[in-house]
Amino acid sequence: MKRRNLLTVLFGITALMSASQVFSQTAAWPNKPIKMIVPFAPGVSPDVVARIIADKLTQSLGQPVIVDNRPGAGGMIAGEAAALAPADGYTTFFTVKAVMAIAPNVYRNAKFNPIKDFKPVSQILTVPHVITAAPNAPFSTMQELVDYAKRNPGKVDYASLGVGSQPHIAMATWANKLGIDLNHVPYKTNPATDVMAGIVQLSLEASTTAIPSIKGGKIKGIAISGPERLAVLPNVPTVTEYRADLDPNGVIGSSWHAVFVPTGTPPEVINRLNVEIVKIVKTAEVQERLLALGLTPTGTSAGYMSSTLATDYDYWGKLIKGMNIQLD
C-alpha cells in the first residue's frame, strides 16, 4: 500500500512538472523566430499582404517573423507543410479562401483537412478579384468577351495561379454559367507578365496587384468580382452589372486572407497572435495601405474566421462536385 501511494505521488509530481514545463514554454513564447508559410510566390497578392503583417508582428512580438513562400498545386504544398509543422506557435499559415475552401475540394487525395488540421487566428481582409485582359485582346468588356468567346470556342486562354486556385475555379464557374469555352493555363508564379505581353489573353487577378497595372495601362480591367465597384477603379464595372447571378456578394470571385496555425497550438499563443494581428490591422497606417490596394481590412476574432471557413468549405464542396472538377 505504501509503495502504491508512493507511486501515485510520484506520478502526480511528474504530471505537475510536465504541465509546469509546458506552461513555462508557452509563457515564454515567443523566444525564437516564427515562420509564416505563404502558399504563393513572392509578389503575388497574398505575399504582399503577408509581408506587411509579418513586418509588423516582428515589431510587436520582438522576434523575427519570416515569410516562407511555398507555391504550387493550388496551395496544397504549403497547406500540407503547415499542417504537419509542430503545433508550438512557431509556424503560422498566411493563406486565402481558395487554399482552405476550394483546393481541398478539388483534389481527391488532399493531404490536409482545413477544418481538422488548422485553428484560425484571424481574418485579415477581404479582397475582390479583377478579370484582366491583355492590351491586345480583342475585347474590353464582359459583353465583348462573351461574344468573342462564343464566336471562337476554345480559342481564349486564361491564366491562373494553379489548378484549384480561385482564379481557376472562379473563371471555370463563370464560363459554365455564361455558356462559353475557355482554356485554363495554370502557372506556379504570377502570370501577370504573360498577360501584359499578350501570351495569355485573360486572367483573374487580385485587386492588390491588378490595380497598379490597370492604372498604368499595362492590362485591361474587364470586370470586378462582387456587388460594388472599387473606388480606385471607378470605370471598371462589376461582374454582377453584366449579370446579377454571376457573383452574388462576391461569393465566387472575391476572397479573404487569414492566418491559421496547426491544430494543437496552445490557446494562449492563438489568443496572443489574434490580439497582435487585430491591433496591426486596425492601425491607420495598415488600413490606408490595404484600402489603397482595393482591399477591405477586417481583423476578426478566431471564432468568426472558424465560422467563415466552415461556410465556404461547404459551399465550394457542393459547387465543385456539381461541376465535376476533381483531380487526383
User: Higher confidence at residue 30 or residue 326?
Assistant: 30
Residue 106 has pLDDT above 60, yes or no: yes
* Three cell numbers, residue 202: 485573360
Cis bond upstream, residue 30 (ω within 30): yes
Q: What letter does residue 313 receive in the DSSP assignment?
A: H
Q: How far apart are CA 295 and CA 102, in angstroms?
A: 21
Q: Which CATH superfamily is domain 31-126+254-323 in?
A: Bordetella uptake gene, domain 1 (3.40.190.150)
Answer for the pair 111, 80: CB distance below 8 angstroms, yes or no.
yes
Instruction: Write down the pLDDT at residue 12.
Output: 52
Structure confidence by residue, pLDDT tens digits, 178-214: 999 999 999 877 899 999 999 999 999 999 889 999 9
* Three cell numbers, residue 253: 470571385
Q: In the chain, which residues fall in CATH 3.40.190.10?
A: 129-250
Q: How far apart are CA 178 and CA 131, in angstroms?
A: 15
pTM: 0.84
Tell me if residue 242 falls in helix, strand or coil. Answer: helix
User: Higher confidence at residue 208 or residue 96?
Assistant: 96
Instruction: Write down the pLDDT at residue 27.
Output: 60
* Three cell numbers, residue 196: 501584359
* Three cell numbers, residue 5: 501511494
* Neighbouring residues of 32: CB distance < 8 A, sequence distance ≥ 6: 63, 90
Query: How confident is the prediction for the chain on average, in pLDDT?
Result: 91
* Neighbouring residues of 294: CB distance < 8 A, sequence distance ≥ 6: 127, 128, 207, 208, 210, 211, 230, 232, 233
Give the class (CATH, top level) of 129-250: alpha beta
Residue 76 has pLDDT above 60, yes or no: yes
Q: In the chain, which residues fall in CATH 3.40.190.150?
A: 31-126+254-323
Q: What letter does residue 107 receive in the DSSP assignment?
A: B
CB half-sphere exposure, 316, CA atoms < 13 A: 30
The values of phi and psi at residue 283, to 5°, are -65, 150
